[in-house]
Amino acid sequence: MDFATLIQILDSTVRLATPLLFACLAGLFSERAGVFDIGLEGKMLAAAFLSGAVAAVTGNVWLGMFAGIGASLLMAAIHGLASITFRGNQLISGVAINFLAAGLTVLLGQNWFGLGGRTPALTSGGRFEPIILPFAEAMAPVPVLGPIYSELISGHSFPVYLAWAMVPATAWLLYRTRFGLRLRAVGENPAAVDTAGVSVTAIRYAAVAICGVLCGLAGAYLATGLAAGFGKDMTAGRGFIALAALIFAKWRPWYALGACLLFGFLEAVGNRFPNIDLGLIVLPAQFMQALPYILTVVILAGFVGKAIPPRAGGEPYVKER
């Protein structure tokens, strides 16, 4: 494998890791506040659909993005209502949201566009354009550093840079602000937060809403950045890979970046080399697809550093009377 191929694979890694990173950070906010979310997939799917649809109709990618965030927030609201207000089972609510999105996107897509659930292909204004960083052209001929700067770092679209910026932003919000401290406390010991006179419900709703916005960005990037339009079931398990990355990252923002890049890299390598010949054995493409899930199970099993979820995760908070 030569240097140019490596750059291409890494470039593709960055792009494929972006939706994972958004969704993973989304799950991080929700789960750190004690609300399990296996509905990341559904929220991304709903957002991808509506952003694709709105971008196709208006020809404006930004309107599409905001519509996608709106769709995702609506799903998040259902999840919040079920798991915070009505103290329902958060896992079951997540399952319901995944199916709701899977069904509604095709139902509405077929009704609006008649393309079997797809949205019309997006033309230039409806997609996120690559942003060429300054001096990218001039740097290109420089050996090694040139391709790294002009191809790997420059030339991605807005959501990619936003996703990377979200990592330090999340770390700062969680570990350096009062809101972040309260959010983490709500996920570990909600009764203590309640005793301190802070509303557990409000913090959890805020976390679920942030989760909705980030999933919306993930979905919008899928439909208007990675692809040119929405396709039926286009998230294809990415929400669950993000969930896997979240566990892999042990619910920490910087680790999340690493985990998402790893899983993005696996996907990029799998796309480029369907079957990997290791000399003794040939790794089939299906193995590469299953690898993120296998790694997550191994991590969950605690053989390679135990992943301990937030202590109050999954428990509805019942105020003492």
Partner 1 sequence: MTAMPKWADAVLVPLISLLIAFVISGLVILAIGENPMEAMRIMVSGALGSTYGWGYTLYYATNFIFTGLAVSVAFHAGLFNIGGEGQAGVGGLGVALACLYIPWPHWSLALAAALVASAVFGAAWAAIPAWLQAKRGSHIVITTIMFNFIASALLVYVLVNILRPTGSMDASSARFAEHLRLPRLNEILALVGIPFNNRNPANISFLLGLVACVAVWVLMWRTRLGYELRAFGKSEKAAVYAGISPVKITMAAMLISGALAGMMAVNTVMGEAQRLILNSVEGAGFIGIAVALMGRSHPFGVLLAALLFGFLYQGGAELALWTKIPRELIVVIQALVILFTGALDNMVRRPVETLFLMARKGR
d(CA 56, CA 72): 18
d(CA 43, CA 55): 18
Choose among 277, 274, 19, 265: nearest CA to 128: 19
Q: Which is nearer to partner 1, 202 or 301 (CB)?
A: 301
Q: Return the range that interacts with partner 1 (CB under 8 A); candidates 24-32, 99-107, 127-135, 191-199.
A: 99-107
Report the DSSP beta bridge partners of residue 130.
157
| Binding flag, residue 273, partner 1 (CB under 8 A) | no
d(CA 315, CA 321): 18
Residues 118-137 that bind partner 1 (CB under 8 A): none
Of the residues 4, 6, 92, 165, which one makes contact with partner 1 according to CB under 8 A: 92
Residues 22-41 that bind partner 1 (CB under 8 A): 38
- Give the SS3 label for residue 96: helix
Residue 267 to residues 35, 206, 250, 313, 320, Cα–Cα distance (Å) = 29, 32, 21, 30, 48
Handedness of CA 238, 242, 244, 248 (dihedral sign): positive
Residues 180-239 that bind partner 1 (CB under 8 A): 237
Q: Which is nearer to partner 1, 93 or 224 (CB)?
A: 93
Give me 155's structure tokens. Answer: 């030339």
| Binding flag, residue 86, partner 1 (CB under 8 A) | yes
Of the residues 78, 136, 162, 171, which one makes contact with partner 1 according to CB under 8 A: 78
Tell me the closest approach of the beta carbon of residue 81 to partner 1, in angstroms.
7
| Binding flag, residue 284, partner 1 (CB under 8 A) | yes
Counting residues that bind partner 1 (by CB under 8 A) gives 46
d(CA 310, CA 308): 7
CB-based contact 164:133 (threshold 8 Å): no
Tell me the closest approach of the beta carbon of residue 266 to partner 1, in angstroms.
12
Of the residues 55, 82, 213, 261, which one makes contact with partner 1 according to CB under 8 A: 82
Which chain residues interact with partner 1 by CB under 8 A? 38, 78, 81-83, 86-93, 95-100, 102-104, 106-108, 110-111, 117, 237, 240, 243-244, 247, 284, 286-287, 289-290, 293-294, 296-297, 300-302, 309
